[in-house]
Amino acid sequence: MIVIIDYGLGNLKSVLGAVQRLGYEVVISHSVDDLEEAEKLILPGVGAFGDGIRNLKDINLIDPLNELVLKRKKPVLAICLGFQLLAEESLEFGHNKGLGWINATVEKINPDGEDIRIPHVGWNDLFVKNESILWEDVPAGTLFYYTHSFHVKCKDQDIVIGMCKYGIDFVAAIQQQNIYATQFHPEKSQYYGLCVLKNFLEKA
Amino acid sequence: MLRNRLITVLTFNNGVLFRTKNFFPDYRYTLNFVDAWSIDEIVVLDISRKGSGDRENFLKAVEKFALNCFVPLSAGGGVKKTEDFKKLLNKGADKVVINTEAVNNPELITKASRLYGSQCVVVSIDAKKQAKGKYEVYVECGTRATGKDPVSWAKKVQEFGAGEIMITSIEKDGSLEGYDNELNQMVSEAVNIPVLVCGGAGNWQNFVDGINIGKASAVCTTNIYHFAESSIQSAKKYMVNKGINMRVS
């Protein structure tokens, strides 16, 4: 069973639809029992960092998640805001601490107000930086769908598996052992988005 | 690099699809014809008039699209409060479009973008050309004049926290004559958030002009004859040949 973590933010239905379409048994839940029973976890998210981390705290999921993911190595795929929450801290709406699972900070795409439209919305190129099960059967030149104003700046480059460019070069995806994350929305990136999702569900 | 987008906009009355021409209904009814594979995004709007039609049917349509549609889905029509946002997002929409209520109660833009992220908030602006070449914003499906100028309203909308703006020319809508790119360019150049242009797309050159002249981030079409897979692919190929950066399968 796959569990999509419900912490009150994010397009859960879209992710649910995609996972179901791929033929997996899946539930949307925030019960620790469900998370423990899950074979794999998905941490989606659309919204603000501060709200995200606070919501996770309010429903007492931080300790269980730390245990399941960091200690017991349960595979998790974090998407968009979910990816950003993995970082140590974020500069969105002040200073907020994240889960700290990866050595990274979350910053604005255009801190100096460069002449690009924010949020970054639409289809953009993936530059594969390191091999990963996520990229299997994904051809070079594949585009994925993004919608965000902040990006994850990784201090540890070894975990970076994909990059994208919008004004700046930013991290599109990471893999750190059992932790996978994408800034783009695989559930909204059509055929190859579903392929990435399938790769996680099948091979992680 | 970020591509421009081609977006189909479907309007529903009582859960049934129809096509607008100058904001008056022109009835068609089929649901399963939008090519969900070549299109970049889909927008579904409920223009059921108050009292007629059931919002529930529209919500069902949204849910059906959401479960079968693996591109971003925006939904709107009659959205008045953040609970309406929640309803649509729970049905599977990724973004919510607001129009009239943004004018009546601009705080809704800010509240919604704080709660759900600015990426979820698309403010739609309908404008009509007046005498002396000026434009005016209309609400309530193009029936009520607001006295607002679309450019200054667009700037305010951005300040309030909208993620994207959708600008529609009321006269051009359904005309197949092409966008009002004077309007599009003015609005697009006034803001720093993505602008989606709508109203008038008839042929592929119209899409190209919408981006080159109208300075749009994305071009929308409400013309159902554009919705088939072969049409979307053909449109995109044409646009790429004209130098526009599009996602092509």
Per-residue buried b or exposed e for A136-166, using 16+ beta carbons within 10 Å of the residue's own CB: eebeeebbbbbbbbbbbebeeeebbbbbbeb
Distance CA B249, CA B238 (A): 13
Report the sign of the C-alpha dihedral through residues B71, B208, B98, B120, in that order: positive
Residue B174 pLDDT exceeds 80? yes
| CA-closest candidate to residue B60, choices B82, B90, B27, B26 | B90
Q: Give the model confidence (pLDDT) of A146-174 as tens digits.
A: 999 999 999 999 999 999 999 999 999 99
Task: Please give the ipTM for the structure prediction.
Answer: 0.90
In this prediction, residues B154-161 reach a mean pLDDT of: 97
* Residue among A121, A125, A192 with most chain B CBs within 10 A, to mutate: A121
Q: Give the model confidence (pLDDT) of A84-122 as tens digits.
A: 999 999 987 778 899 999 999 999 998 666 678 999 999
| CA-closest candidate to residue A18, choices A186, A202, A179 | A186
A13 touches B: beta carbon within 8 Å = yes
* Residue among A12, A13, A126 with most chain B CBs within 10 A, to mutate: A13
The helix/strand/coil state of A105 is: strand
Q: Which residue of B has its CA nearest to A148?
A: B119
In this prediction, residues A61-81 reach a mean pLDDT of: 96
Predicted local confidence at residue B183, as pLDDT: 97
Residue B21 pLDDT exceeds 80? no
CB-nearest to A193 from B70, B114, B194 is B70
A106 touches B: beta carbon within 8 Å = no
Q: Give the model confidence (pLDDT) of B85-123 as tens digits.
A: 988 988 889 999 999 999 999 999 999 998 888 999 999
Q: How far is CA B53 from CA B32, B49, B140, in A?
A: 21, 7, 16
B67 touches A: beta carbon within 8 Å = yes
The residues facing B169 across adjacent strands are B127
Predicted local confidence at residue B11, as pLDDT: 84
The one-letter code for the residue type at A124 is N
B161 touches A: beta carbon within 8 Å = no
Q: Give the model confidence (pLDDT) of B204-221 as tens digits.
A: 999 999 999 999 999 999
- The burial of A177, by beta-carbon neighbours within 10 Å (0-12 exposed, 13-18 middle, 19 or more buried), is given as exposed
Distance CA A8, CA A6 (A): 6
Pinpoint the alpha helices (H) of chain A: 12-21, 32-37, 49-58, 62-65, 81-85, 190-203
Predicted local confidence at residue B32, as pLDDT: 46
